[in-house]
Amino acid sequence: MTQHFTLPTHKNDPHRKVAYVNARLFDAESGLDEKGTLLTIGDTIADFGAHLTNDKLPQGVEIVDCKGHLLSPGLLDIQVHFREPGQEHKETIATGSKSAASGGVTLVACMPNTRPVIDDAAVVAFIHKRAQETAYVNVRTYAAITKGQKGDEITEMGLLKEAGAVGFTDDGLPVMNAGVMRKALTYARELGVPVAQHAEDLNLSCGACMNEGKISAQLGVAGAPNAAEAVMVERDIILAELTGGQYHVLHISTAEAIDAVRRAKKKGLRVTAEAAPHHFILTDEAVLGYRTFSKMNPPLRAEKDRLAIIEGLKDGTIDAIATDHAPHDQESKRVPLSSAAFGIVGLETMLPLSLTLYHKGIMPLRDVLAAMTYKPADIIHVPAGRLKKGARADLTLIDLDLEWAIDPKQFVSRSLNSPFDNWPTKGRAIRTIVGGETVYELR
């Protein structure tokens, strides 16, 4: 099998008709799961369902035979690092979006810890312009909460929202100052966007390079306790209740923090959370042997935390699956564990790793795909992730039964840092459609 990519023209013929026939039409929000046809006209979903038989299709329609595979709304990944501007040797909007297309992801939300930081409307405009010129998928961006991500002075949040920012975060760093976080949540409430937190109390993590536990003790390296995440989440939930702001926990990783979010939801607070596949697939044992490709922040945790994440996904405490796609060059990873950069690439492995929850009977398929379609779309308030007439034709065709082994050497991301080398998986995106145009196909 080979991967084929086509950069979208953004000039889709508004009269072009494409019928995706013999599809298993699947929409996680509505519960739709039936064999049928989906018709796109231009960049829009015109109609879909079992009623769209061949004799009811319009003249001049192009036919794509889905061969019984699952046709879903396009997947979203609302936490990615594309490194542009400033670290293009690790990733660019072009290579990162191509990686997204390969993984069946049709919309991403970029983090603002670029160089320069996305803390000015001009930088947001730059991201959008570069995406229009070079991206294979829809690219949105968060803006920083504080200027330069220094944690002190709030950015011009209103101007950044007007420029197109979908929310605010200092991801890569936490907002340590509670007063600053309170202001951010208050302003963001008025703007109708989320504040997303990298939940880490730096006074507790103290520069640790992995989880605190028996593995860190065995390796003789500094570890970050679960409390470093949980303390910050507990504080921020109190601030969210005080302000009425929308608060989102990025890459949640500990049982204690998940319990805090669960309690907040029961109180009716505007609190959401996301989890990364590596946190519900791996534990800190993956760092044994000083494996730097398993070094990430938040770190891989203990088995009880991995199971707590799965339980949080099952009961809806954790709303979304997002990768924290963090590409790094070899020089940043092939160094001693304490010196190595944090993070792994994830866009091309999100879907197959997440489908493990379905194939092992842990979660229904509807719930797994909900966490990668309409639920993340609702967190950042974008019209995506649903099969609806009149909606934008962003779609993912998935072969649920395709068995394959992850090979980072075959990634189209500019970086290859993944702990999942030769990892057996089942299920893969075989076609990615953005605005009615096929941008990726596995043949």
Tell me: the pLDDT tens digits for 350-409?
Answer: 999 999 999 999 999 999 999 999 999 999 999 999 999 999 999 999 999 999 999 999
Q: Round the average pLDDT of the chain to a whole number and report it.
A: 97
pLDDT at 410: 96
Q: Above 70 in pLDDT, residue 440?
A: yes
Q: Above 80 in pLDDT, residue 185?
A: yes
Q: Above 80 in pLDDT, residue 64?
A: yes
Mean pLDDT confidence for 72-85: 98
Contact between 313 and 357 under an 8 Å Cβ cutoff? The reply is yes
Tell me: the pLDDT tens digits for 104-146?
Answer: 999 999 999 999 999 999 999 999 999 999 999 999 999 999 9
Could you give the residue numbers annotated as active site? 324
Tracing tokens 């993590």 back to the chain, one arrives at: 205
Tracing tokens 């065995």 back to the chain, one arrives at: 218
Tell me: the pLDDT tens digits for 414-436?
Answer: 999 999 999 999 999 999 999 99
pLDDT at 14: 87
- Choices 3.50.50.60, 3.10.20.30, 3.40.50.11750, 3.20.20.140: CATH for 75-379: 3.20.20.140
| CA 196 to each of CA 230, 241, 272, 336, 442: distance values in angstroms, whole numbers, following the listed order | 15, 15, 9, 31, 34
Tell me: the pLDDT tens digits for 2-30?
Answer: 999 999 886 678 889 999 999 999 999 99
DSSP tag of 334: S
Count the neighbouring beta carbons within 10 Å of the beta carbon of residue 332: 19
Here the tokens at position 101 are 């297309």
Q: Above 80 in pLDDT, residue 223?
A: yes
pLDDT at 10: 67
The SS3 assignment for 89 reads coil
Q: Above 80 in pLDDT, residue 411?
A: yes
pLDDT band at 41 (very low <50, low <70, confident <90, very high): very high
Fold of 3-72+391-442: Urease, subunit C; domain 1 (2.30.40)
Contact between 327 and 415 under an 8 Å Cβ cutoff? The reply is yes
For 58, half-sphere exposure in the C-beta direction (CA atoms, 13 angstrom radius) is: 14
Q: What distance separates the 2 farthest-apart alpha carbons in the chain?
A: 69
Q: For the residues of 214-228, what is the DSSP string, one character each?
A: HHHHHHT--EE-THH
Contact between 44 and 391 under an 8 Å Cβ cutoff? The reply is yes
Q: Which of 278, 244, 274, 242 is nearest to 257 (CA)?
A: 274
pLDDT at 419: 97
Mean pLDDT confidence for 310-336: 97
> Domain spans of the chain?
3-72+391-442, 75-379
Q: Which of 308, 298, 346, 299 is nearest to 326 (CA)?
A: 346
Among 47-56, 168-177, 223-232, 299-308, which stretch is predicted with the lowest mean pLDDT? 47-56
Contact between 365 and 410 under an 8 Å Cβ cutoff? The reply is no
Contact between 400 and 433 under an 8 Å Cβ cutoff? The reply is no
DSSP tag of 154: B
